[in-house]
Amino acid sequence: MKISIIGAGRVASHLARGLCNQHQIVQIMSPTLENAERVAQIAEAKAISHLDDLDNTIDVLFIAVSDQAIQSVVQALPVHMQHVLVIHTSGSTSIDVFGSLLTRVGVFYPLQSFSLEREVDWSTTPLLLEAAHQNDLALLKILAAALSARVYCYDSKQRLSLHLAAVFACNFTNYCYDAAAQLLDSAQVDFQLLYPLMLETATKATQHSPQQMQTGPAVRQDDNILSLHQQLLDQAQRPDLAVIYQLMSQAIIRRHHGDD
């Protein structure tokens, strides 16, 4: 297939690298030409900085920009792209964002955390697809199969729920890692000591019910330890982490003990 990508960030970069092995990446578009050129080099594509320069002979146009920018990009697409299948890559943005401006539309959402510093294992990355027409959905399945063995069809409401769950499982969890690192840095303790615990916790969560694997003072309702930890956070002058600790501990207690 002939593909162009609007965007030059993390998702666009990894898509270009992943798709160029089996498909032709024609253009990378970004308002900042230097950014477009950086991603275009990955896939031997042409870098452009204006939407009017998009090639209308392509099969699929990816919109891989921030969620808040998708609608403005859609509204600014030139008329000559009307017959092209246009898809966005957002987990939380509905397919309705395209409105009535385009007829061939869809969603291609990779459920993964993207960083420029790390390669992505596309073969294990779930790809969530949606399209306005069955023919285009079939096309997206072919495109997705070139990247991953885990391809699923979910509507916008289901995808939004999955994106919310991913925020808890990934973004909030990573912030907890950062909070742990901050606390240990202030105490001059090596954060790497937590690595085996972090890996074991993640492994258990993928092999068993996370609820059943819950450990710690909150699930044990160990009030002495809970109070001691709160005092330590107060002494460290971290009211932000003290609030998080209290809210999460209370949530764990309610989850496992109800109103007891």
Q: Indicate whether 259 pLDDT > 70.
A: no
Mean pLDDT, residues 223-246: 96
> pTM of the prediction?
0.88
pLDDT score at 260: 57
Which residue type occupies 60? V
In a shared domain, residues 7 and 136: yes
Mean pLDDT over 153-172 rounds to 96
Same domain for 125 and 13?
yes
Distance in angstroms (rounded) separating the CA atoms of residues 54 and 40: 14
Same domain, 51 and 115: yes
Backbone angles phi, psi at 86, to 5 degrees: -110, 125
Q: 3-class SS at 42?
A: helix
Max distance between CA atoms of the chain, in angstroms, equals: 68
d(CA 66, CA 27): 19
Residue 229 has pLDDT above 80, yes or no: yes
Domain that holds residue 252: 160-257
CATH number of the domain that residue 183 is part of: 1.10.1040.20
* HSE of 8, CA atoms in CB hemisphere, 13 A: 21
Pair 117, 199 in one domain: no
Q: Does residue 144 surpass a pLDDT of 90?
A: yes
CATH, residue 18: 3.40.50.720
Residues 11 and 40 occupy one common structural domain:
yes
Q: Is the dihedral of CA 147, 54, 10, 41 positive or negative?
A: positive
Same domain (yes/no): 107, 17? yes
pLDDT (mean) for 196-201: 96
Question: What's the domain count of the chain?
Answer: 2
User: How confident is the model over 102-124, as a mean pLDDT?
Assistant: 91
Q: Which of 110, 135, 154 is the last residue of a domain?
A: 154
Same domain, 132 and 187: no
Dihedral angle sign, alpha carbons of residues 198, 199, 205, 211 = negative
The count of residues in the chain is: 260
For residues 183 and 158, the answer to whether their CB atoms sit within 8 Å is: no
What is the pLDDT of the chain when averaged over all its residues?
A: 95
The gap between the terminal CA atoms of the chain, to the nearest Å, is 59
